[in-house]
Amino acid sequence: MKRAISIYGDWALHDEIGDKVELSEEMTQSALDRLEYWQKKHKVKFDYYLIDAFWYDPEGNYQQFKKSHWPDGFANVRRRMEALGITPGLWFDVNGFASPRHEQWKRSLSIDNRSYCLFDGPYAEGFEKALINACTSWGIRLFKLDFVNFRAVTPRLANSLSEEEIYLKNAEVLKRILRGLRLCFPNIIILAYNGYELVPNYISNTSYPLRRGIDPSWLEVFDYIYSGDPRPADVPFIDFRHSVDVYQDYMVRNLNFSGIPLTRIDDHGCMIGNTNTIYYLGKHSWRRSWILTLSRGSRKAHLYGNLHLLDDSDVEFLSRARKIFFSLFDLGLETFTVGGVPAHSPWHGFLTGGGAKGLLTLVNNTGFSQHVSLKIAGLQDAKVLFSDGGNLIEPQVGGQSLSVTLAPEQMVLLGLGDMARDEYYLGTDEDSIVPYESKLVPVSFKMISPSVLEGEWVPENIPEDDRTFLRISLQVLKDRLAMRLKSEKSTTSGKRPAIQDFLSITLSQNGHKQPMAMWEPDRAVWSGCSWITALYDVAKLKGERLRMRCAYQGQEKVELVASASLLKFHGKVKLAPARKNI
């Protein structure tokens, strides 16, 4: 039986790819300060500390920490980790653009000088020695292997091998290296990140049907294969964190469809931080993301990012939620998917255990309330343990069946049978209040031009309060698939949102443009986005005709899909904070 583990990773605390926040020994010691405090104050411990990208000398051979940022090398940090009982982990670019440019490895450089060929020249031997050195000299037992390029070939061999031969030769060398590493160090854990997918856009677009895009035979050498960095799903949402969560739910199902067991899928965990890689979300709605990463069945509690953002109550929540799930994992109970395909069906979920003892997580994928009905063998009782705030969920149980209604975008964790106890209650997510009601607005959008839709609506019998909002969403498709648009731009003041350079929503009344109360993605989105959603405060709109205009400003021939609805909230509307600058 696979033991449940806990990993802390520092990516999103630093981000050198989309941001300007660099990893250093000082940063690592500060994170260890928090982990030490958590141990002493809350008895919360992580098994592994994963030091992520760019720790190494960019001109070295992966056997030196970057001197400018790690003046004393790894020695002090390693001693600190050992004192805390935490095993160190390390990130490596296998052979891609971020690999160090060591002088003695030049003969392995690919044609474009961006990658190393693994089967020609000295690089593969140097990479293997670096992994062994990490184990023997630094005590590394967790490896995150990223940015592999199986299509890299040296100029010397480029014209003598087919693309398939190049791919297979690179792949076999990596497998040989990892087989040997496992023989020498059988207790290591290896995570496979970017580059192992076989089909285009496999981990970047959720509008595709489920596809088999990962070769399960990689599990011979990897413990986990990851399902993508945080990205928005290709379905319009009012809360950006909700979209990121549904993206990961979809990708886990996608890998599972490819033959990767849930226990071997790295869902990238829960990420918090004020960096570009996590879209400057801070810790907004992190609790629901923590519940979801525990729910997906990897038996791996993985937290990424800035630990300083979490207060004592957050740490208590983290600990209690982890204990609840780990108690079932330790009993050998398995996780199963339920419902439809995330981002394609009205609702989906994950069930760990069963009716007599289980944890059931359900998610509404849509902007409208959804009724969920499930047959669960042995079910006698169910209790809400955690949910998004704004709508009270009352599960109904009878005849080994469960019925529950979820508000728009709402998720819930239910305890079943022995887990339906007050002692397991975890509260609600008050960071983002979901609407308790959503109704379609009777508007018919008409195509004014190939890239413009317009519609009209006269608001009638609308309560004049601050809790009713008009929602307008626009999505762009190409060849019936979501077209992800560049959604960030660089300025002198940093990264800024860019989706409105391509997609726009305008609401006007009597010729006057009405201000948006809020919109998403009101942030730099490095991974691109296919939609925009805007909310308008109905209390500020007069009961006169409204004109809605949805437009695409790009050059390609696309299909636009627009919708409008009225949302009603019980409390003050709180959505993901927008931070545009680095």
pLDDT tens per residue across all 582 residues of the chain:
679 999 999 999 999 999 999 999 999 999 999 999 999 999 999 999 999 999 999 999 999 999 999 999 999 999 999 999 999 999 999 999 999 999 999 999 999 999 999 999 999 999 999 999 999 999 999 999 999 999 999 999 999 999 999 999 999 999 999 999 999 999 999 999 999 999 888 999 999 999 999 999 999 999 999 999 999 999 999 999 999 999 999 999 999 999 999 999 999 999 999 999 999 999 999 999 999 999 999 999 999 999 999 999 999 999 999 999 999 999 999 999 999 999 999 999 999 999 999 999 999 999 999 999 999 999 999 999 999 999 999 999 999 999 999 999 999 999 999 999 999 999 999 998 999 999 999 999 999 999 999 999 998 877 767 689 999 999 999 999 999 998 888 877 778 888 999 999 999 999 999 999 999 999 999 999 999 999 999 888 877 899 999 999 999 999 999 999 999 998 767 656 654 432
The pLDDT assigned to 574 comes to: 64
- Three-state DSSP class for residue 461: coil
Domain boundaries, the chain: 5-333, 337-433, 437-568
Helices (H), 278-397: 286-295, 312-329
Q: Residue 582 has what pLDDT?
A: 28
What's the pTM?
Answer: 0.96
What is the structure's pLDDT at 495?
A: 81
Residue 578: its pLDDT value, please? Answer: 54
Q: Which CATH number fits the domain 5-333, given the four candidates 3.20.20.70, 2.40.160.40, 3.30.70.20, 3.20.20.140? A: 3.20.20.70
The answer to whether the CB of 295 falls within 8 A of the CB of 359 is: yes
377: number of Cβ within 10 Å: 8
Q: 437-568 has which CATH code?
A: 2.60.120
Q: Would you call 67 exposed, middle or buried from its count of C-beta atoms within 10 A (0-12, 13-18, 19+)?
A: exposed
How crowded is the C-beta side of 153, counted as CA atoms within 13 Å?
16
d(CA 226, CA 269) in angstroms, rounded, equals: 10
Q: What is the DSSP string of 74-126?
A: THHHHHHHHHHT-EEEEEEESSSTTS---GGGGGGB-TTSSSB-SSSSSHHHH
Phi, psi (5° rounding) for residue 461? 55, 40
Q: Which CATH class is domain 337-433?
A: mainly beta
| Degrees to nearest 5, angle at CA 528 with 143 and 476 | 140
Exposed (0-12), middle (13-18) or buried (19+): which is 571, by Cβ within 10 Å? exposed
| pLDDT at site 1 | 63
Do 42 and 312 contact (CB within 8 A), yes or no? yes
The DSSP bridge pattern shows strands 512-513 and 503-509 to be antiparallel
Task: Report the pLDDT value the prediction gives residue 581, as an integer from 0 to 100.
Answer: 36
Residues 6+ apart with CB under 8 A from 222: 145, 178, 190, 191, 192, 264
The closest alpha carbon to 4, from 317, 322, 257, belongs to: 322
Q: How far is CA 454 from CA 216, 510, 515, 547, in A?
A: 47, 15, 18, 7
